[in-house]
A and B are shown apart, each in its own frame.
Chain A
């Protein structure tokens, strides 16, 4: 009797418990395990066996890694990746920090315009920037043509943009906005009292800049540097367009997979590039974390602006010059899209043909891109939101692990994600290579961090008492989530999703390994047009892509103000 009663009570107790959250919240975690953790594990495993061999312990070998000791091509790629990534970080800091300082601290006109134009290079697909520089500085590039006419007088000539120099140049311009926007934010939000107190103690302007201002914005610069580094080392489009004989790790991976279908070798290269990223992250953490301070001022006062006409003039000239150069790609492709060719000084053969032909040649790619970006964004929004909710509100024991897992793709080069997915799902029981599904999964995995960060930020700002008071007044978990939590974090979700949508539209480094004739996307078609030398069509398609992305980012700014860069930050 007693036992039965106890059992009854236990069951009654259990049935009263609200299991919905566990059911709903386990879905995204399951997704992450199947489509991120498992593929990464498979990829790591495959790196230690040779192509064609089964993944068992007897086949264990370091042969895939040995190429880095034996093959000069591998060594050069590795060196190139190193040189490029560090140079790009160096030059973006060198150019971006003064610009951030000028816009934040010098009184000058059109600040808002400079800030909005300044963000354009990041929302322009990187490879579009690369090929527009080919138009300007390539073998027959217009700027090179003019420069050589002048330089020719003194017996010099400008080399074409191909090779390491071109890659570093283009990447620097592409990733400059990260440094510019983050340092601008840091200079602007720095506590003005710290500088004022130094001034009162008798410090000169340059001393204040050296001993107070710069040390305090160092963490922001560290964050910007790592952001640039990760992107530079993972970028596929720019070295693919401009590299020529110079390979870097992502193009080497592409070469390995596309040329030999050697996922094992590709995995080994992928592991190496991830190790480099991890080392860079560790260095950044070491340098910066010891210097992380609460510097945001509570006072409403802002830092005094420089009003000296000399400084003003320098600032305006500097900012316009940098903007002009970094916006040259956009201007170039828009111009190019209306002409047949651009060899020599002016483009020739004005035409609308490049646009008229779009429906005929690219309607499938456009449809594919829109379909993939839209559906993947919606799913990413769902998964990212739920995972953010779990780690922020439920705080299960492994919360840090979940946080770490979901953020992993943020630091992984895109091509590494596709190698991992191919390792797990291109053979054996589940073969989805060449389908929309694998592209969509790669998109979701790669962009979940965006929504996750964005929503987690809204959740931390949301007072938990609001949800608690709803629960206390008798609402179930689901009701509270629907009526209280969700509406309040909706701006964060929308911001993260639109950012996801905008970046997925231009995704190349993941899809380049995963697409098939059926699933070709717009960036891939542009890339192929560039490879074929068909710059007119490549330009008109790029303009179409640019306009769409621009509208999406503009919509996001409507929702969340002008802090578009916040979603791009690494926590």
Chain B
């Protein structure tokens, strides 16, 4: 059984002309056999955390455990892990078989075992035929190289698999296909896996759970559903999918109902928030807040009677399943995105027309001080 991974107060500083604090104290736990995604914008520290997990970087302070074992100061070649790099890092001077067999040769396996293992793993990654011709990996397509890199990392049964933006150098279509493949292979082997990416769609599609990182800290950890529907912060809300923000002030709280005045045009919204201990404290009359709405949770109409926030359509994009409106509210310079199903699109609306934005009473998020409440 593959071990879990525990990070305790991991800090990494890069000393130099200017000392950069890449990780500012990260603590969390990855479960056994889990496919765990590290997600964040570039420079957030996700790659540093992965390289620290591999032992390629030493940490400034903190500890890392694989299961019970503290591996903080164990060098990479004694950690028994597998890693796939963004550029695949396949050896151009070896053929496919030798590339995949590399880790087995280091472990001094007999030739017949090597042969058997390589054949098996190539079947698992869906390339059994490549071994027959056994070319140089550079002669293969990006998708095939990707599979070989995965095979090479898995063939010697490592305890942990690390993937550093493994799909970033593939084209969009292949990327979508390969991420399903990676998930299939991971679930077959059931190896504890860390997957680093900056592509939120990819992370949500592939990960059992994800950690959203920002400037050296973990902002939120959870399943893609949790993170999408209940982001902890405005950063996460806007990084995972799109979110429209509207500043406002709480006017009145009655049970689960909450009247909020939009700062821009003084209109009053009547929204529903299921009260809990925290919300009871936070949601108070007169408090300045920010409302957050996903594009698909806003509606738009041409009828001034039904709408709250008037605005001008700047761009209409037909995205197939949905229609996306980019609307500039009359009192707000920052335009908002609204997506509606194709069947419900505004008939006859053109760019330049005035329309009215409406809120979903039950699905509008509330933020205060950039954090969700």
Contacts and interface: CB of A to CB of B under 8 A. Distances in A.
B87 A193 contact: yes
Contacts of B103: 201-202
Interface in B50-94: 54-56, 75-83, 85-87, 89, 91-93
A212 interface: yes
Interface of A: 191, 193-194, 196-204, 207, 211-212, 215-216, 218, 291, 293-295, 297-299
B156 interface: yes
B138 A293 contact: yes
Contacts of A299: 86-87
Nearest to B84: A197
B83 A197 contact: yes
A302 to B, nearest CB: 13
B107 interface: yes
A200 B81 contact: yes
Given A191-B89, A193-B85, A200 B138 contact: no
Query: Which of B77, B79, B81, B85 has its CB near the most chain A CB atoms (within 10 A)?
Result: B77
A204 B77 contact: yes
Contacts of B82: 200-201
B80 A202 contact: yes
A199 B89 contact: no
B106 interface: yes
Contacts of B228: none
Interface in B151-169: 152-153, 156, 162
B102 interface: yes
A174 B366 CA distance: 75
A216 B82 CA distance: 22
Given A196-B56, A207-B106, A294-B138, A202 B78 contact: yes
B205 to A, nearest CB: 26
A212 B91 contact: yes
Given A198-B102, A293-B138, A294-B138, A203 B92 contact: no
B93 A215 contact: yes
Contacts of B91: 194, 212, 216
Contacts of A196: 54, 56, 76, 83, 85, 89
Contacts of A298: 87
A291 B153 CA distance: 24
B318 to A, nearest CB: 33
A266 B78 CA distance: 64
Contact of A194 (B55, B78, B89, B107): B89
Given A193-B85, A293-B93, A299-B87, 6 more contacts: A194-B89, A199-B75, A200-B81, A202-B103, A202-B107, A295-B92
Nearest to B162: A200
A142 B270 CA distance: 100
Interface size class of B (residues with CB under 8 A): 20 to 34
Nearest to A299: B87
A197 B138 CA distance: 17
Contacts of B77: 199-204
11 contacts: A194-B89, A196-B56, A196-B83, A199-B76, A201-B82, A204-B77, A212-B91, A215-B93, A216-B91, A291-B93, A293-B138
Interface in B106-161: 106-107, 138, 152-153, 156
A200 B76 contact: yes
Nearest to B56: A196
B141 to A, nearest CB: 16
A211 B98 CA distance: 11
A294 B107 CA distance: 28
A405 B343 CA distance: 70
A212 B91 CA distance: 8
A257 B89 CA distance: 57
B92 A199 contact: no
Q: Which 4 A-B pairs have the closest CB atoms?
A: A293-B92, A201-B103, A193-B89, A197-B89
Contact of A203 (B85, B89, B106, B138): B106
B92 A201 contact: no
Contacts of B76: 196, 199-200
A193 B102 CA distance: 15
A201 B89 contact: no
A197 B54 CA distance: 10
Nearest to B92: A293
A200 B54 contact: yes
Contacts of B75: 199
A205 to B, nearest CB: 9
A211 B99 CA distance: 11
A200 B78 CA distance: 8
A463 B272 CA distance: 59
A210 to B, nearest CB: 12
Contact of A202 (B54, B85, B106): B106
A204 B78 CA distance: 9
Interface in B238-288: none
A218 B92 CA distance: 12
A200 B76 CA distance: 5
Contact of A294 (B81, B89, B92): B92
B58 to A, nearest CB: 11
